[in-house]
Structure 1
Amino acid sequence: MTQAIIFVVFPLCLAVAACSDFLTMLIPNRVSAILLASFVIVAPLAGLGLTDIAMHLAAGLIVFSVCFALFALNVMGGGDAKLLTASAVWFGLNFSLVEFLIYVSVFGGLLTLVILSLRSSTNLILATGLPVPDHLLKAKKVPYGIAIGIGAFAAYPTSPLMLAALGSAG
């Protein structure tokens, strides 16, 4: 059961968040809440001690602090901040968190370049009738939940919970 939660819940929540952000420019609060609640449930079952769990929660608190400042400066959306925070808790305060944040930054930069390219070709895209969501062409913001999701998928294999699940599977 623990392995199923680790293998399914985190990736599924990130995929839902990325798809929702792509289609609507919104990330449902329940996705971040499910991520956080499922971590609290699965962490002790996966063998993490209280100190380890506290370090994971500290990672979320640190990421939340930075995201809150970026949100207050209108640089980051609230849904992105909550998703990044809830995801950080799954990685913990170690190198896998740094790896995750680097992936998110790289994929976020690439995503921004793609969105800017799309927006510079809006008339051509509309003329060809390509099915591109309207908000991707006209909104001022970038659906960063996509980058958070891709970054999480890239870094997740080295996360402490995934390694714990793989260790108990063998």
Structure 2
Amino acid sequence: MIYFAVISIFPVGLALAAISDLLTMTIPNRISAALIGMFFLVAPFAGLDLNTIFLSVAAGMIVLICGFVLFATHTMGGGDVKLLTASTLWFGFNSSLFTFMLTVAFVGGALTLSILILRSRSQEILAYGLPIPDSLLVAKKIPYGIAIAIAGLMTYPEAPIVQAAMRSIL
């Protein structure tokens, strides 16, 4: 039962955040709050010790502080910062966090370039009636929650909470 919770809660939260960011350019606070709350609920039962949980919190605080600087300089949206912080808890303070962050950067770069290309062709896209959300074509922002979600889904199997949950069922 815990294994199912570990492998489903975080990916579902990421998917909901990505869909919301794609369609509305916002990530509801309740998604990030739920991911944070569920981490603290599930982590001990998944087999993470207190030291690992503490290191996850420390990593989350570091990401939150760095994210606040990015938010204050209008480089990243508040919802993106909160989602990235919540995601950090699930990866912890270890090499899987580095892999996740690096993947976020690469996916985010590819997403940004793709959206800039779409926006440069927005008149043709609108003329053809292609089913692309208007927010991607006319907004000034980039829905970075999509990149965070894709990177999270790609790298989540490496996260210590997943590894601990797998060990507990074997």
TM-score computed with the length of structure 2 as normaliser: 0.98
The answer for the alignment partner of 1:42 in structure 2 is 42
The answer for the alignment partner of 1:14 in structure 2 is 14
Give, in angstroms, the shift of residue 66 of structure 1. 0.6
Long gaps (5+) in structure 1: none
Deviation digits for residues 73-111 of structure 1, max 9, x if unmatched? 010000000000000011001000000000100000000
**Matched residues in 2 for 1:167 and 1:117: separation?**
45
Identical-pair percentage: 54
**Matched residues in 2 for 1:106 and 1:143: separation?**
14
Question: Matched residue pairs, number?
Answer: 170
The answer for the alignment partner of 1:139 in structure 2 is 139
Give SS of 1:13's match: helix
The answer for the alignment partner of 1:125 in structure 2 is 125
Tell me the amino acid that sits aligned with residue 120 of structure 2: S
Kept in 1: contact 2:17–2:27 (CA 8 A): yes
**Matched residues in 1 for 2:2 and 2:124: separation?**
49
Long gaps (5+) in structure 2: none
Q: How large is the RMSD of aligned CA atoms in angstroms?
A: 0.8
**Matched residues in 1 for 2:31 and 2:7: separation?**
16
Give, in angstroms, the shift of residue 166 of structure 1. 1.4
Deviation digits for residues 100-134 of structure 1, max 9, x if unmatched? 00010000000001100000001100110112111
Give, in angstroms, the shift of residue 46 of structure 1. 1.4
The answer for the alignment partner of 2:70 in structure 1 is 70
Matches within 5 A, 1:1-170: 1-170=1-170
Give, in angstroms, the shift of residue 169 of structure 1. 2.3
Moved >3 Å (runs of 4+): none
Tell me the amino acid that sits aligned with residue 44 of structure 2: P
**Matched residues in 1 for 2:53 and 2:136: separation?**
38
Give, in angstroms, the shift of residue 60 of structure 1. 0.4
Give SS of 1:15's match: helix
**Matched residues in 1 for 2:101 and 2:19: separation?**
20
**Matched residues in 2 for 1:147 and 1:134: separation?**
18
TM-score computed with the length of structure 1 as normaliser: 0.98
Name which structure has the greater RCO, CA cutoff 8 Å, separation 6+: 2
Give SS of 1:140's match: coil
